[in-house]
Amino acid sequence: MKRFLTLLCTLACFAAVAQKSGGIDAAMMQQIREGYRGKASDKAVKNALASTPISTLAKNGDNLAMCDTHFRYQVKTKGITDQKSSGRCWLFTGLNVLRAKMIVKHDLKEFEFSQNYLSFYDLLEKSNLFLQGIIDTRELPLDDRKVEWLLKNPIGDGGQFTGVSNLITKYGAVPKSAMPETYQSNNTRDMRMILSLKLREYALKLREARKGELKELKTAMLTNIYDILVKCLGVPPTEFTWTRYNSKGERVGTRSYTPQSFYAEFIGEDLENNYVMLMNDPTREYGKVYEIDYDRHMYDGDNWLYINLPIERIKEVAIASIKDNTAMYFSCDVGKFFDRKRGVLDISNLDYASLFATEFPMDKKQRVSTFASGSSHAMTLIAVDTDKDGKATKWMVENSWGANSGYRGNVIMTDEWFNEYMFRLVAERKYVPEDILKILEQKPIMLPAWDPMFAPEE
């Protein structure tokens, strides 16, 4: 009887499997195996792949020579920064744009802003953004989409340009000598883990607390976060002394500053109103203004706001700015077809199709729609080369991976690669044509914070 029941159970299981369609059944598996026609060349590829990275084998032997490094138009810059093992490319890029201006404007030999100073306040402000977000959503269930997004993303050191503009407007800026990097600012993984753990713990306490004690409780929590940041990054200065030297190395003078007075004297731009973010996202309608909900660095700061444009219109702005010796915040999908040794982004660098005897036909819109591509890294756009008709042929960005990376710390990209993998550009209003600026009069279309197109740039 026992064997009979076991047999019935087995037959029932097989029947249940047989009733489900969509799986790989025996007939399909047989068809797949018979469809494989291994050739002698396939064995050679298989043997090579067994012990060699795909990117090495896919390297296009016809595209190994270094590209032309001459650029018709190039912004004057000095020095290469290094974000080390941190996700602060957005901050380094924004400060590099301002650094280039300051060096030229004040005839400096070299200069670098303190990234650590603004990182400190960025992490403190993001902590408040998260905690206040938890307070604002405390009546919603834990599995609500916004609550879930908050808890999955309590804090990180990635970001975008509005973080630069909002933070400097509120906290000013200081030279690197006033607050240098620490091991933790250069290597942020463990610090982010500790902050995330505390913030998630605090989130549960805020959801359970009485309404009347929320503000006091949040202040105490932020005081503890401040203490952790001081231990990791140091105490941000409220006043400091800085000696200025000109391009000849001659001492100009020594003065005391606050972070706000330093920025006002040496840069003084209205960062929140003087810059426009332009996007090339072919999955959404061009000529529209978009805003990303809850995607900001400060609770009382600005969400992402951008104009979506065809790539050629963005190039117009980029070329105009470079011709006027003004660098720009630029972001792209840097990991695609990147020859790190040469520092060249070129879709001809790698030939996956030949290696695997197949095609990869998706265009930019299809790649973005299927999450195969999106902006991942910010750099400073500083150069363009053009043909006799004024059309761009290649571009160059100043990276923040150190002077020994890429081409002298820079990355060169072909115009074809630019078309396919460039996403965002932040430019001064004076370089943006009036018909594009007029688009800003539209009511922004709000997009959710969890849209994958808007992951922080690291």
Choose, from 89, 116, 232, 410, the residue flagged as catalytic.
89
Choose, from 96, 280, 308, 399, the residue flagged as catalytic.
399
Please confirm, yes or no, whether 106 is among the known catalytic residues: no
Q: Are 412 and 71 in contact (CB under 8 A)?
A: no
- With 0-12 / 13-18 / 19 or more C-beta atoms within 10 angstroms meaning exposed / middle / buried, residue 222 is middle
Please confirm, yes or no, whether 303 is among the known catalytic residues: no
Per DSSP, the three-state class of 124 is helix
Instruction: Give start and end residues of each alpha helix (H) in 324-373.
Output: 352-356, 364-369
- With 0-12 / 13-18 / 19 or more C-beta atoms within 10 angstroms meaning exposed / middle / buried, residue 182 is middle
Please confirm, yes or no, whether 89 is among the known catalytic residues: yes
- Alpha-carbon span 32 to 446, nearest angstrom: 46
CA dihedral 9, 15, 20, 21 (to 10 degrees): 150
H/E stretch holding 288 = strand 288-292
Angle between helices 214-233 and 189-208 (to 10 degrees): 170
Task: Identify the residue whose tokens are 């018909």.
Answer: 435
- Tell which residue, 111, 47, 41, 43, has the closest CA to residue 76: 111
Choose, from 96, 280, 377, 410, the residue flagged as catalytic.
377
**Which residues participate in catalysis according to the annotation?**
89, 377, 399
